């Protein structure tokens, strides 16, 4: 199951493989929000992590594809629960790894030197050489050896808690229209750019232009004709999209309508 990290009320995914999986298998794209260290000013092409919008998190939780993890709390717990023994252990591990690196490095160096001397026909010389290396002579580089999952106090939020929390911010109408389009194979992205809840693409948003500006409404929820139908309809038609308005009707069925300027009047 994919782990979504909740940090500062944002829902984030840090693993590239998870992002690929969500995108290809579940049409869930999110938004990359990390700046690139080399070019922090530009914000068009961002890097990790991926932020999921709330409807996406609800969908993934409801369908058992992902679980939500209290990432910041677990880091605090991990840091404050460190004992002197933990630190001593870490130092030991570090020292062992360091020695191993030094050994590998010097042996590799000797081997290369031996080969070079052999080429020149001076193989006798190598046996007279001594390698001097001190503990700190070689820079110590390491991959992260611990993962978040091994940290103590790494808590999953319960599905019920996360869902009830999310549904305080997402109206059922918004989730309705998200689910309506997503379940029909549409790829959704945030819709603010065109004044809607979502933009719907017929496939991956990298490959297609969006077809719809989608807005979810409760069945009897009032909305102004001038700004929503006239404004949204005209904007949509001008950018080659349909405005989709929809909600769940009294019988639990779908009442979904597409709005387009007629071309006259």
Partner 1 sequence: MAEQIRTNLVHQHLWSDVVIHQTKLTDLVHGTPPRTLHPDDAEIRSEWLVPARSNDDWTIKQWDECFREAEGVAGKDVDRMLMAIVDNDSTIVYYFVYKGLVKPRKN
Residues that bind partner 1 (CB under 8 A): 184, 211-212, 217-226, 228-230, 233, 236-237, 240-242, 244-247, 249, 255-265
- Alpha carbon distance 116, 110 (integer Å): 10
* 246: its two tokens: 């929809």
| φ, ψ for residue 226, nearest 5 deg | -65, -50
The secondary structure of 39-106, three-state, reads ECCCCCCCEEEEEECHHHHHHHHHCCCEEEEEHHHHHHHHHHCCCHHHHHHHHHHHHHHHHHHHHHHH
Nearer to partner 1, 148 or 205 (CB): 205
Minimum CB separation of residue 173 from partner 1 in Å reads 9
Nearer to partner 1, 101 or 237 (CB): 237
Query: Is 209 annotated in the active site?
Result: yes
Minimum CB separation of residue 200 from partner 1 in Å reads 9
Minimum CB separation of residue 216 from partner 1 in Å reads 10
Minimum CB separation of residue 250 from partner 1 in Å reads 8
Nearer to partner 1, 112 or 193 (CB): 193
Nearer to partner 1, 154 or 180 (CB): 180
* Angle at CA of residue 91, ends 87 and 94, nearest 5°: 135
CA torsion 231-170-189-186 (nearest 10°) is -100
Q: What is the largest CA-CA distance in the chain?
A: 97
Nearer to partner 1, 151 or 242 (CB): 242
Minimum CB separation of residue 83 from partner 1 in Å reads 60
Nearer to partner 1, 147 or 262 (CB): 262
Report how far Cα 91 is from the mean position of its chain's Cα atoms. 33
Query: Is 201 annotated in the active site?
Result: yes
* 260: its two tokens: 């387009």
Report how far Cα 249 is from the mean position of its chain's Cα atoms. 34
> Among 201, 211, 212, 217, which one carries the catalytic annotation?
201
Q: What is the DSSP letter of 4?
A: E
Query: Is 90 annotated in the active site?
Result: no
Minimum CB separation of residue 186 from partner 1 in Å reads 9
- Single out the residue of 183, 210, 185 nearest to residue 199, CA to CA: 210
Q: How many CB atoms lie within 10 A of CB 204?
A: 12
Catalytic residue positions? 201, 209, 241
């Amino acid at each position: 199951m994919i782990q979504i990290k909740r940090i500062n009320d944002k829902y984030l995914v840090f693993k590239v493989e998870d992002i690929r999986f969500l995108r290809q298998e579940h049409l869930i794209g999110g938004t990359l929000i990390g700046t690139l260290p080399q070019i922090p000013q530009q914000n068009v092409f961002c890097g990790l992590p991926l932020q999921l919008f709330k409807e996406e998190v609800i969908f993934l939780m409801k369908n058992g594809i992902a679980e939500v993890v209290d990432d910041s709390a677990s880091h605090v717990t991990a840091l404050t629960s460190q004992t002197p023994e933990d630190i001593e252990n870490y130092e030991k591990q570090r020292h062992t790894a360091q020695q191993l690196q030094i050994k590998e490095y010097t042996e590799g160096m000797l081997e290369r030197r031996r080969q070079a001397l052999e080429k020149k026909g001076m193989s006798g010389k190598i046996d007279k050489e001594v390698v001097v290396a001190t503990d700190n002579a070689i820079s110590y580089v390491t991959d992260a050896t611990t993962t978040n999952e091994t940290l103590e106090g790494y808590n999953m939020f319960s599905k019920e808690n996360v869902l009830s929390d999310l549904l305080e911010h997402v109206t059922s109408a918004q989730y309705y229209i998200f689910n309506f389009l997503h379940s029909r194979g549409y790829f959704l992205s945030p819709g603010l750019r065109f004044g809607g809840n979502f933009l719907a693409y017929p496939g991956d948003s990298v490959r297609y232009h969006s077809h719809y500006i989608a807005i979810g409404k409760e069945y009897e929820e009032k909305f102004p004709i001038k700004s929503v139908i006239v404004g949204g309809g005209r904007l949509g038609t001008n950018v080659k999209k349909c405005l989709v308005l929809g909600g769940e009707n009294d019988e639990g069925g779908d009442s979904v309508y597409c709005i387009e300027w007629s071309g006259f009047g």
